[in-house]
Amino acid sequence: MTQEKGSIHRIDRFRSSLFSLQIELPAIAETAVPGQFVHMKVEGVQHAILRRPLSIAGVNGNIIRLIVRIVGSGTERLAEYKVGQTSDFIGPLGSGFDIGDVETAYLIGGGIGDAPLLFLQDESKNRGIKTHLFVGSLSHDEFPLEDEEVKERGLVNCTDDGSFGFHGFVTAAFEEQMKRGVKGNTRAYTCGPVPMMKEAARLCKEYGIPLQVSLENRMGCGVGVCQGCATKLKDTGERGGFQLVCVDGPVFNAEEIDWSLF
């Protein structure tokens, strides 16, 4: 974990409310692994004080990539950042995905939840793992990746309204894949809205694939100090089942989670 000033190397707006950022962050880039996030200070947001947690969507040399959806004042301000502008970052934070030594990995992302999965796909491919990436959104205009990259990555793009790729939920596309048969040593990973992750967990259980889940919660410190991000995974154990998304997660094994508590 380090704190460093990062300079914006590139910023690309796409669709109506999405953008990707490339930021020069040498110390963070050096140790980052898929599943981790940065805690970013967004300067110039009136009255806002806390940092914003954002997943690392890729690393290229000194450069960290983020993919962001505009949802409020902080992300709105961030979208206006200019090349060369600097900001303060703490990272890399949290536990990463456990990639392991498998033949095939299934990555299931809903909306902006695709961000950590892109980095995971890159790293899995580097390790010679065959990846199937499924990403879903409401419509083409909400799709969290530009069309060219969708092609390059060979991912299965799904939209609820059928305006871009597979017509239906991302979990339905994943299920079709499952029905075609699952061979060898596999793992699955998911990040996105809770109902989607729940369904992914149900399918993975049915098909006997170990699943890792990346969770979100509001954050104060991002480093395990404030206990603000505590999320109840199961109603057991010393801490009453509470785990800190920022340091114990954001990645958890699906077996650790009791979905009825969400």
Partner 1 sequence: MKVDLSVRLGSLQLKNPVLTASGTFGYGTEYGELLDVAALGGIVIKTITPRPRPGNPSPRIWETSGGMLNTIGLANVGVDAFITDKLPALRKIRTAIVVNIAGSTVEEYWEVVEKLDNEKGFDAYEINVSCPNVKDEGMAFGTNPKVTEKIVRGVRERTQRPIIPKLTPNVTSLSEIARACEAAGADALSMINTLVGMSIDVQSRQPRISTVTGGYSGPSIKPVALAKVFEAHKAVSIPLIGIGGISSAADALEFIIAGASAVQVGTATFIDPRTSLYIISGLEEYCENHDLSRISDLVGSIQLD
Ligand X SMILES: Cc1cc2nc3c(=O)[nH]c(=O)nc-3n(C[C@H](O)[C@H](O)[C@H](O)COP(=O)(O)OP(=O)(O)OC[C@H]3O[C@@H](n4cnc5c(N)ncnc54)[C@H](O)[C@@H]3O)c2cc1C
Ligand Y SMILES: Cc1cc2nc3c(=O)[nH]c(=O)nc-3n(C[C@H](O)[C@H](O)[C@H](O)COP(=O)(O)O)c2cc1C
Kindly list the residues in this chain that would bind ligand Y in the complex (CB under 6 A): 220, 226, 228
Choice between 69 and 140, CB closer to partner 1: 69
x/- mask, ligand X, residues 56-95, rule CB under 6 A, reads: ----------xxxx-xxxxx--------------------
Q: Whose CA is closest to 87, among 2, 25, 18, 13? A: 25
Whole-angstrom distance, CA of residue 199 vs CA of residue 202: 5
- Among the candidate windows 67-75, 195-203, 222-230, 234-242, which touches ligand FES by CB under 6 A? 222-230
Choose, by CB under 8 A, the member of 227, 253, 255, 258 that binds partner 1.
227
Contact between 100 and ligand X by CB under 6 A: the answer reads no
φ, ψ for residue 51, nearest 5 deg: -75, 165
Residues of span 111-150 touching ligand X by CB under 6 A: 112, 115
Residue 97 touching ligand X (CB under 6 A):
no
Q: Say if residues 23 and 8 touch (Cβ distance below 8 Å).
A: yes
Q: Count residues binding ligand X (CB under 6 A).
A: 22
Rounded CA-CA distance 40/55 in Å is 10
Partner whose footprint covers residue 117, from ligand FES, ligand X, ligand Y, none (CB < 5 to 8 Å by kind): none
Binding site for partner 1 (CB under 8 A): 1-3, 41, 47-51, 88, 90, 217-232, 238-242
